[in-house]
């Protein structure tokens, strides 16, 4: 079975998704203030991040680095209402961009967006480096159908029984700001 990256259609499918999503946030009165008038390379950067997180090429890490992601969110002051709207528009963009609609894929993608939006919100409101979310690398997001060569088979087999539980625990830890927790998503490999 494919990685999330492959199942989404690789760079082409993810670029279509991020372009659709970006158009939505720029037109949304609640989110547009966070994005301004838009940046010409933002869709490409979003595509790189999602591709890497879903098991594709590591261009985001190589070209920009995770520190860039922290920097662009600092000081935005994302509210819970904005975070929820972000998640809602991302879900709508999945349909509009024609990405696969099978429930396991959609659930994995939405868990990724929920987790990532919590991290972004936390970082956007951090008054100091000590208040930043502890994640410092692009997380490697997987699903039950992932046969990506970036994850050794023995590691996948060890992770499979509790994979969904681990992601939900990571999400809960981010929500509760449990910076000392060891429940964060698998780091990029």
Please tell me the predicted confidence (pLDDT) of residue 146.
Answer: 64
Q: Are 16 and 97 contacting, i.e. CB atoms less than 8 angstroms apart?
A: yes
- The 3-state DSSP class for residue 187 equals strand
Give the Cα-Cα-Cα angle 48, 168, 72 (nearest 5 degrees).
Answer: 35
Confidence category of residue 134, pLDDT binned at 50, 70, 90 = very high
139 phi and psi, to 5 degrees? -70, 145
pLDDT tens profile 27-70: 999 999 999 888 889 999 999 999 999 999 999 999 999 999 99
- Give the dihedral of Cα atoms 187, 59, 17, 75; nearest 10 deg: 70
**Can you give the pTM of this predicted structure?**
0.78
Is the confidence at residue 20, as pLDDT, over 50? Answer: yes
Please tell me the predicted confidence (pLDDT) of residue 40.
Answer: 86
């Amino acid at each position: 079975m494919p990685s999330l990256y492959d199942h989404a259609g690789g760079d082409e499918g993810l670029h279509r998704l991020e372009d659709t999503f970006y158009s939505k946030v720029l037109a949304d009165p609640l989110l547009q203030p966070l994005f301004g008038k838009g940046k010409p390379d933002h869709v490409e950067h979003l595509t790189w991040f999602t591709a890497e997180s879903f098991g594709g090429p590591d261009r985001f890490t190589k070209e920009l680095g995770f520190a860039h992601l922290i920097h662009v969110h600092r000081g935005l002051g994302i509210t819970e209402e904005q975070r929820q709207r972000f998640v809602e528009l991302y879900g709508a963009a999945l349909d509009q961009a024609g990405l696969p609609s099978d429930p396991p894929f959609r659930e994995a993608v939405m868990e990724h967006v929920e987790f990532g939006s919590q991290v972004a919100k936390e970082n956007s409101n951090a008054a100091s480096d000590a208040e930043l979310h502890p994640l410092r690398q692009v997380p490697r997001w997987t699903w039950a159908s992932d046969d990506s060569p970036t994850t050794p088979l023995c590691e996948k087999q060890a992770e499979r029984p509790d994979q969904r539980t681990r992601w939900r625990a990571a999400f809960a830890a981010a929500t509760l700001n449990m910076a000392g927790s060891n429940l964060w998503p698998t780091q990029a490999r």
